[in-house]
Amino acid sequence: MSVLFIYHQLCRTALFHSRAFMPDLRLAVVSADDQVTSSQLKGAHVLCPCPQLTSYWTPPPSWPRRVCCCETLAKMSPFGFSVFRDAKTTCIFVGLILMTYYIIMDIILFLRFKTVDIVEDSKPGAPDEFYSPFTHLSVKSLMNDHTSQYIISPSAEYLDTFTQFSTRFSFITPNVISFTHLFLGFVSGKFVASDNLYDRRVGVVIFQIRTWLDAFDGVVFRAQSGTHLQFQSVRATTGYYVDTTCDALGGVFLCFGILFYLMKRFDPYKQDLPTWTKAQEVASKTGLVTNGHSSASRETYSIKYLFWKVFCYGLCLACAGKFWDLTVGDFRDIFQTPLKDPKMAMQQFELCHSTTTIIIFYLWRILEGQALLQYVLIPIIIDKIWEFLNYTQYILLCIIIGLYIVSLIYIRHVSRSILYVFN
C-alpha cells in the first residue's frame, strides 16, 4: 500500500509540473489579441504628432453640451415648425433671414455713402453720441464684413454705451481683452476637434464669443483713446500688433481644431460600428442577404493630405486678412486724405463714389478674413466641413489673389487720375 501511495503522489507531482510548463491556448489567443490592439493603438498614436504636447487630441469636457442641452434642443422643434428639426434646414432658414437683413442694411448704407464725403464723415464723434452703422463712415467700415458691421459691432458699441464698461473698468485694457479672446480661440479649437457633433457646435458658439470680444477690444480702445466712433486702424502701435497677432492665432487654433477632427474622422485604425446604408436597404428589398452591414471600406486619408486641405484654407484666411488690411490702407490714403485743391477734392469725391469703387468695396466685404471665418463655421455646424474644404481648396485662393491684383491696379489708376487733375 505504501508503494502505491508513493507512486500516486509522484504521478500527481509530475502532472502538476507538466501543467505549469504547458502553454495555455486561451492565453495565447488573448496575447495575440493584445498585440493586435497594441499595434492599432500605435498606428493611431502615430496619427497624432506629439500627442503628449497637445490637448487638442484629448476630448473636451462634456458638461458644456449638457448645460446647453444640445442633444435635447436638437430633438425639439422650436416654434412648432417641423423645418427646425434638421440642422441643415435650420441653417438655411436662418441664413435666408440674415441675407435679407444684410441686403436691406447694405442698401441703406450705400445710399447714404453716395451723399457724404468720408473725409469729413470719418472723423471721431462726440463721447455721448449714439452708435449707428450708417454714420462716421470710413474705408474700413465700408469694407468690413456684414456680420461684424451689422451684428457684432453694434452689440459691442451698445453694451459699452449702456454699461459704461470702458469708463468704470478702465483698468481692463484692450490688450487684456485681446488675450482673453485668444484663450477662447484655443478653447474653441479644442471643442471643434471633438468627435461629437454637439461639442463642435459648442466650439462654434465659443468662437463667436471670441469674435465678439475681438470687436469689443476696439470699442474699448476708441473710448479710452478719445476716438469714439472713428473706425480706422492705428498702425505702428503695440496694441495694433497685439490685436492682429491674437486674431491670427485665433484662426490658427480653429484650423488646427478642424485638422485634428479630420484626423480622427479618417483614422484608418478607428473601429466604427457597422452602418446601414441606402444600398443595403435596396438590397434587402430585392431579397439579398446583407445582415444590415455595409461592405464598402471606410474612407481614409493620410496626415499629409488632410494637413494640405486645412492648410489651403488657412492660407486663404491669411491672404484675405493681409490683403484686405493693405487694401484698406491704400484706399484710406487716397480717399480719406484732405486735399486743399478744389479740383482734386472734387475728383477724389467722384472716384470714391464711382461704381467701380463700390463694387471693389463690396467684394472685399464678402471675401474679408473675418467673413471667411464666418463661412467656415457654417459647415462645422451642419457637419459638412470636409465637403466645404474640398470645394474651396484652390478656387477661393485664386479669387482672393485676383481681387487683390485688381485692387492694386485700380488704386494706381485712381492715384494717377487725381494727380492728372492737379497737373
Domains held by the chain: number: 1
Tell whether 377 is covered by a domain.
yes
CB environment 109-133: b (16+ within 10 A), e (fewer): bbeebeebbbbebbebbeeeeebeb
Grid coordinates representing 401? 489673389
Tell whether 139 is covered by a domain.
yes
Q: Are 226 and 220 in contact (CB under 8 A)?
A: no
On the 0-12 / 13-18 / 19+ scale of CB atoms within 10 A, 49 is exposed
pLDDT in tens, the chain (423 residues): 555 455 455 555 554 454 444 444 444 444 444 444 444 444 444 445 555 445 455 777 776 776 665 555 555 555 445 545 667 788 888 889 999 999 999 999 999 999 999 998 888 888 888 899 999 999 999 999 999 999 999 999 999 999 999 889 889 999 999 999 999 999 999 999 998 898 999 999 999 999 999 999 999 998 888 888 888 888 878 888 999 999 999 999 999 999 999 998 887 776 554 444 444 444 444 444 444 344 445 678 888 999 999 999 999 999 999 999 999 999 999 999 998 888 888 999 999 999 999 999 999 999 999 999 999 999 999 999 999 999 998 999 999 999 999 999 999 999 998 877 666
Which domain, by its residues, includes 206? 58-267+298-422
Q: Are 178 and 401 in contact (CB under 8 A)?
A: no
Measured from the Cβ of residue 192, the count of other Cβ atoms closer than 10 Å reads 30
CATH number (domain holding residue 81): 1.20.120.1760
